[in-house]
Structure 1
Amino acid sequence: MMMTLVFVFSFAPTVVFPQHTSPKVTGKYEVATATYTYIDKNRIEEFTDKGDNRFVNVEFWYPKNVKETYPLLVFSHGAYGIKASNTSTYTELASHGYVVVSIDHPYHSFFTASEDGTKVLINSDYNHEIENLNKEGFYTKEEEYELIQKWMKLRTDDMNFVIDTILKKAKSDNNPVYQQINTEKIGVFGHSMGGAASVWLGRERKDIDAVVNIDAPFFSDLVYKKEMDDYVARDEAFTTPLLNIYSDDVWGQLDSNSTYVANKLNNENFKDAYTTHFKGAKHLSLTDLPLFSPLLANMLQGGKAGIDPYYAIETENELILKFFDYELKGIGEFTSKETY
């Protein structure tokens, strides 16, 4: 029995995290990375009672050893995600001349490590809130709406803080990472809850020039109506250029789940948005997880996706690159098929 346990323990990593080929990188630039911890002196950490300031861990992907400036792209991960969730996307974008920063939202991310070695896991209360939200009838619509507002406030506060910090450093910090940033061109994107936060920022900030929403509801555009105990869509045009990429998991809910009432394709307030559907994809097909841990991805999303994982992520990366190229650099035209 002991030998069996030792064998399983020794070889489990090769089963859970098998060797895999990295998605293709097509840009001309070699990509460098850098990680930092930013301390927000204007916020106290709500997940502890120590009175510490909120900290946010970030990682940059950017062109190595170049003198030009490039648009800034800010990424937010999903509910249980980590800042490395779409590394292939960041790398592809940076190789084409973008400075990409991905955020770990401490206590919302599964795991994060700071520059000083501090490690933080997902908060158990937040974890239970997410789990219970997925249970039919556990929360009332009003309670669900309050949770959404709470989650989005933390996410958007983190993203606003990171963007503002970077813009300030671009003016005063000689670090090559910051000196490569064109502060007049900013895009935001994210997966799942991070996509919802990105759309939210696309409404709030005037300096956001383009948004990519990966498989998320428009939480920013939900209005809770007590008299009907349900959501309606906010009645205000969304004017920031927007690309929506949906898996089967979300595509099948656009007309049946009121959480996606604002995402409906006939919503005139989003008439200029680009929307595409990856047929056969599951929620995590739009991240790198199915590549480096197919077993874990299948467990988390309830089965194997019906789309090739490399086709899914490489097609997604290509679309995001072309969208940002068009909106932030004025390169070419952007079109997308209804279904991939």
Structure 2
Amino acid sequence: MKKFAKKYLISIVCFIGLLHLVIDGWRWQMFLVYFLLVITLWRIYKINIEEKPRPTFIRVFGYAIVMLTIVLMWFLPVLLAVFSLPEPTGNYEVGSKWMHIKTDHEEQITQDSSDKRELMVKVWYPTNDISGIRREPYIDEANRIGFINKYSMGVLPPFTINYLDRIKTHVYPGAPISEETFPVLIFSPGYGSMSTGYYALLTEIASHGYIIVNVTHTYESLGATFPNGEKMFFDYTYQSKGDATSLEDIMSIKDAFEKDISFYERHNIIREASKDYFVTKIVDRWSNDLISVLDILDDYNNKGFFQNRMDLNKIAVFGHSRGGGAAGQTMLKDTRIKAAVNIDGVQWGQIMDTIFQKPFLFISADWPAEHEDINSHAYINKSTDYFYETKLLKSGHPNFMDIPLMIPIESIAGTGAIDAKLGLKITNELVVEFFNKHIKNDPNADVSMLKNKYELLEMNIYKGDSIK
């Protein structure tokens, strides 16, 4: 009878293990679970039911190891979670296609003076035909490698984030583009981030009838794969040199916020310090990247996959973090841009000497009171057109990316207390409503209604010198 009970327990444990492998598949994050499973089987096999166990040192030590294993086996799958992306709510499915852009601009980051700036861009677009097309894997390989190298400092091999293969995207590579004409949005990601790590945001916007050109800023995004198979990664040496040269500028800005001086005295200090600041130069260079994309849109629209699918009279730019600053800078420099969105980026540079002439949306994270609010100086003049100043309450800087889904631990991810999917939902609706109103000229679009819909969204709307 006792032998039968042991066999019964062993069968149950084996069944549970096999069920996991069949349904969920093998995952390295679960190796401690597998280890504990083997230990459990061994203990069941060896245990003498009639013997009363004595608390020996080895036995106590074994129990301690088991408890530690249980804690670790809970932590790893939570830290590196298999998460679900939000379902797009628009009328279209979303396709994707990679494009390679060569420019005449000198490549300022490499050592070879003959190098010209080259960009990889991922285009997200509306489609109505996804039959027979597999969903796109989550995050391209180069960005994955760059991500794991950044956060493990090169210690962990790339396969450690292969669990991302289990993420179900809502994007279908190479699907035929819908036979309509769509506005074009150019997107710039954060500095040193996964340039394509914005699935929740970009899939949602594209599903509402927009073509999005997602730029990878070579050597300043985490990774890019070029048509010849060569992979380019973030240049940490260039970053460290830039940080070293900008120390004096950033310290004068920091001091300006710590001193007991008037807003306008501080404004003049920040304005002067920012002119030669390393990041100001990055924002300007990135704006040139976005303009390089603009310059090639006519070619995309005249022939090939996107022929006659782009409405080049309806072009806007948007971005997150440093890419948000680049979006604003691009609208100042190029009249083809009809509107812009800055998602929690500092607007360094030219804006302090001028004013927007087009609709602009600024979305801020919920920064602490002691945060150095550069944008209160950058956006002092706002716009002669609509200017939306918004804040997503209880959010952190990464809440606008997929990061809070990938790493659902607030203290590690640097996110806020807001529910991850709710934060993305509010951001998505805000950006879509803004573009629907100011790019599609939809008479039913109403950005202001979101202020009443979501209590976690603060909003002030300005038109010229007046607040709406």
For the aligned pair, the TM-score class normalised by the smaller chain equals: 0.7 to 0.9
Given residue 333 of structure 2, which amino acid in structure 1 is its aligned partner?
A: E
Q: Which of the numbers 330, 335, 340 marks the counterpart of 2:441?
A: 330
1-side partners of 2:359 and 2:345: how far apart?
A: 16
- Secondary structure of the residue aligned to 1:194 is helix
Q: CA deviation at 1:23?
A: 1.4
Taking only aligned residues, the RMSD between alpha carbons, in angstroms, comes to 3.1
Equivalent residue for 2:334? Answer: 205
Contact 2:274 2:349 in 1 (8 A): no
Instruction: List aligned pairs for 1:1-340, cutoff 5 A.
Output: 7=31, 14-40=77-103, 42-50=104-112, 51-64=114-127, 65=176, 66-128=178-240, 139-140=251-252, 145-146=275-276, 147-171=278-302, 173-175=303-305, 177-221=306-350, 233-234=352-353, 236-249=354-367, 252=369, 257-258=373-374, 260-264=376-380, 267=381, 269=383, 272-295=386-409, 298-299=411-412, 301=414, 304-331=415-442, 332-336=444-448, 337=451, 339-340=456-457
Deviations 1:232-278 (A, max 9, x none): x32x33111111111012x7478x544641235xx454673012111
1-side partners of 2:83 and 2:317: how far apart?
A: 28
Would the alpha carbon gap of residues 196 and 268 (structure 1) be closer, same or farther in structure 2, given more than 3 Å must change? closer
Q: CA deviation at 1:136?
A: 9.4
Given residue 105 of structure 1, which amino acid in structure 2 is its aligned partner?
A: H
Deviations 1:11-48 (A, max 9, x none): 898454311111131112121100122111x1232222
Equivalent residue for 2:173? Answer: none
Given residue 208 of structure 2, which amino acid in structure 1 is its aligned partner?
A: H
Would the alpha carbon gap of residues 213 and 258 (structure 1) be closer, same or farther in structure 2, given more than 3 Å must change? closer
2-side partners of 1:307 and 1:5: how far apart?
A: 27
Any stretches of 5+ residues in structure 2 without a counterpart?
1-27, 35-72, 128-175, 254-271, 458-468
Moved more, 23-32 or 327-336: 327-336
Structure with the larger RCO, 1 or 2 (CA within 8 Å, 6+ apart): 1
Q: How many residues align?
A: 315
1-side partners of 2:86 and 2:247: how far apart?
A: 35
Would the alpha carbon gap of residues 287 and 169 (structure 1) be closer, same or farther in structure 2, given more than 3 Å must change? same
Contact 2:109 2:238 in 1 (8 A): no
Structure number with bigger Rg = 2
Would the alpha carbon gap of residues 6 and 326 (structure 1) be closer, same or farther in structure 2, given more than 3 Å must change? closer
- Secondary structure of the residue aligned to 1:329 is coil
2-side partners of 1:138 and 1:68: how far apart?
A: 48
Equivalent residue for 2:268? Answer: none
Would the alpha carbon gap of residues 21 and 162 (structure 1) be closer, same or farther in structure 2, given more than 3 Å must change? same
Given residue 405 of structure 2, which amino acid in structure 1 is its aligned partner?
A: L
Contact 1:199 1:220 in 2 (8 A): no
Q: CA deviation at 1:5?
A: 11
Would the alpha carbon gap of residues 293 and 244 (structure 1) be closer, same or farther in structure 2, given more than 3 Å must change? same
2-side partners of 1:253 and 1:160: how far apart?
A: 35
Q: CA deviation at 1:312?
A: 0.5
Would the alpha carbon gap of residues 131 and 44 (structure 1) be closer, same or farther in structure 2, given more than 3 Å must change? closer
Contact 1:71 1:186 in 2 (8 A): yes
Contact 2:301 2:308 in 1 (8 A): yes
TM-score by length of 2: 0.61
Deviations 1:125-169 (A, max 9, x none): 343267669989865556653213321232011111011112232
Given residue 80 of structure 2, which amino acid in structure 1 is its aligned partner?
A: F
Give the structure with the larger helix fraction.
2
2-side partners of 1:322 and 1:6: how far apart?
A: 42
Contact 2:30 2:77 in 1 (8 A): no
Any stretches of 5+ residues in structure 1 without a counterpart?
223-232
Given residue 248 of structure 1, which amino acid in structure 2 is its aligned partner?
A: D
- Secondary structure of the residue aligned to 1:294 is coil
Give the structure with the larger strand fraction.
1
> Between the two proteins, what is the percent identity of the paired residues?
26
Contact 1:218 1:260 in 2 (8 A): no
Would the alpha carbon gap of residues 119 and 203 (structure 1) be closer, same or farther in structure 2, given more than 3 Å must change? same
Contact 2:250 2:273 in 1 (8 A): no
Contact 2:284 2:329 in 1 (8 A): no
Given residue 245 of structure 1, which amino acid in structure 2 is its aligned partner?
A: I
1-side partners of 2:364 and 2:375: how far apart?
A: 15
